[in-house]
Amino acid sequence: MSPAFLAVVAVILCILFRLLNVNSQPQIPQMFCRDGQFMECFNKIAPMLREPYIPTRLWGFSGHIQTIIHSIIGRVKCPWPLGERVYLALTDGSTLTYDLYQPLINGVEDDITVAICPGIGNSSESVYIRTFVHYAQCHGYRCAVLNHIGVLDSVQVTSGRIFTYGHTDDYSAMINHLLKKYPTTNIVSVGFSLGGNLISKYLGEAPRPKNIIGGVSICQGYNAVVATQWLLKWQNFHRFYLYVLTENVKSIILKHRHVLLADDIKQRYQLNERDISAAATLPELDEAYTRRVHNFKTLKDLYSWSSSLNYLANIKRPMVFVNARDDPLVPDTLLNPIREFTNSHNQSLYIELANGGHLGFYEGGLIYPNPVTWLDRALVSLIGGIVMSHNDLLVAKGSLTTTVI
């Protein structure tokens, strides 16, 4: 082999090693929590949070690779949990569905329902949702998964809208229906990415049913105004991910164009189908469609209304937030507010990992990861910690009542 060829190979290998971060070492997650009593519940039930997260050796230290593999492949050896699909007719004419899954083991003391809100354009049929649902079922939890309106091919859109970033009425309708079916159950809200923003906003918008005992948010960006500005930049391939998100939402709109872009809808909201089809970024698509359908004067108004950051201070339930520093969709600057929030509010915990990408968190192995991810394991433990904290509070209140009597 010629020296020139060897030099090219060396350069390529250096770039690959740089991109894959193979020289990185596993790190222990960072915790932000000022409430020692709340933190102690997780120390008891989730010792994994005090141990290093070990990504898949060859590629798991790259946030880009984790994110891409998650979006294309999802989980390995993914089960398909069996459940029932529930249909709800909403007052605005929309047809909402959620999938309901019963626990797979008996004898669990607490009746807990995990109310799941998937990420943008996702549903109960998304691979990472299926894996987590099955894992949660195996630990004795009932699961309910919101299907964002417009996402499922098998469910027709029956009104002039689909889901959006800050519209929590659909999630609220699922919660209310669950409580009619199971009035004594306790609910833990779990949201992934966009879903994390929605469940946080939902819990902070208004007083919510007392049956909701806490929430877990994974990989959300907290501030849509700032997040959009960052995603418009080419740095760290932000613009590439924005393009993928844009095409995802656009395809949902155009798939249901016979309803969403019917003549009367276009006239009512002053929609131009050509502008919607030509939109190259989410801001362009939201200007052409979302802002108009949801009656906002400006995009900034829409994004500010949608951002969970503006509702966190009003949340009256225990909350856990999880992010990765190498998440290419959520720049580090978006994480400062949640660090500050959890360091100044009781019953809140923020877990920050060095690696994991956006909803990846694959672990173990050299090339082929474990079927169950770090996130799947951690989520079940975090739900258990919230349940333990809730039960401890009930015991404390009971003891206080007994003492007074």
- What pLDDT shows up at residue 17? 46
Contacts of 263 (CB under 8 A, 6+ apart): none
As a whole number, mean pLDDT of residues 373-386 equals 97
Token code pair at residue 89: 């007719």
pLDDT at 76 exceeding the cut of 90:
no
- What pLDDT shows up at residue 19? 54
Instruction: State the alpha helices, DSSP H only, in 114-161.
Output: 127-137
| Domains, the chain, with CATH or none | 26-223+319-392 (3.40.50.1820), 224-306 (no CATH)
pLDDT at 11 exceeding the cut of 50:
no
Residue 398: band (very low, low, confident or very high) from pLDDT cuts 50, 70, 90:
confident
Question: What percent of the residues of the chain are helix, what percent strand, and what percent coil, each to the nearest 5?
Answer: 45, 15, 40
- Looking at this protein, which amino acid is placed at residue 338? I
Residue 86: band (very low, low, confident or very high) from pLDDT cuts 50, 70, 90:
very high
DSSP state, residue 29:
P
- What pLDDT shows up at residue 180? 98
301-328 pLDDT tens trace: 999 999 999 999 999 999 999 999 999 9
Catalytic positions: 193, 327, 358
15-24, 149-158, 180-189, 372-381 — which is least confidently predicted? 15-24
- What pLDDT shows up at residue 152? 96
- What pLDDT shows up at residue 207? 95
Mean pLDDT of the residues in the chain? 91
**CA separation for the pair 151, 255 (Å, rounded):** 9
pLDDT at 358 exceeding the cut of 50:
yes
**CA separation for the pair 223, 300 (Å, rounded):** 11
> What share of the chain has pLDDT > 90, as a percent?
84
242-287 pLDDT tens trace: 999 999 999 999 999 999 999 999 999 999 999 999 999 999 999 9
225-247 pLDDT tens trace: 999 999 999 888 889 999 999 99
- What pLDDT shows up at residue 22? 61
- What pLDDT shows up at residue 400? 42
Cβ pair 28, 51 in contact under 8 A? yes
- What pLDDT shows up at residue 403? 33
- What pLDDT shows up at residue 342? 97
67-76, 81-90, 284-293 — which is least confidently predicted? 67-76
Q: What own/partner pairs with CB < 8 Å and gap ≥ 24 does 380-383 have?
A: 380/135, 380/136, 380/139, 380/141, 381/42, 381/45, 381/46, 381/48, 381/49, 382/42, 382/46, 382/216, 382/320, 382/322, 383/112, 383/114, 383/136, 383/141, 383/188, 383/190, 383/216
103-148 pLDDT tens trace: 998 767 789 999 999 999 999 999 999 999 999 999 999 999 999 9
- What pLDDT shows up at residue 106? 79
